[in-house]
Structure 1
Amino acid sequence: MQKVIEDSTLTAIVPNHLSVKLGTLMSIIRQSQLPRSLFE
């Protein structure tokens, strides 16, 4: 999913399966720019 805001584009990864691999989850968290500690 993508949304254009002013001069930038926000991208959200939405996996289409029940389980998410650790690497995919870490990538989603990293791209969200939220601290990893929120998810521990």
Structure 2
Amino acid sequence: MPKLPGVNHQDAIRALEKADFVVARQGKHTVMTDGERILTIPRHNPINAHTMGSIVRDAGLTVEEFRKLL
């Protein structure tokens, strides 16, 4: 699986919003949902590449699809 370099949490949130996820709540983490899936995005910069890869996989996207959304 190709690696995602560290991604800014705000860029990740914007990209996931393009994939029809909405912010459910914010605190130390941002929780997003599309009605089926729930994603938790840490609010620190940059988000670790392994963590971001897991978030992308949980969102049902490939790394390539996510990169196009960035």
* Normalised-by-shorter TM-score class: 0.5 to 0.7
Aligned length: 36
Query: CA offset at residue 2 of structure 1?
Result: 6.4
The structure whose Rg is larger is 1
What is the Cα-based RMSD across aligned positions, in Å? 2.2
Greater RCO structure (CA 8 Å; 6+ sep)? 2
**TM-score, length-normalised on structure 1?**
0.60
Match of 1:11 in 2: 38
Unaligned runs of 5+ in 1: none
Match of 1:22 in 2: 49
Q: 1:20–1:2: structure 2 CA closer, same or farther, 3 Å change rule?
A: closer
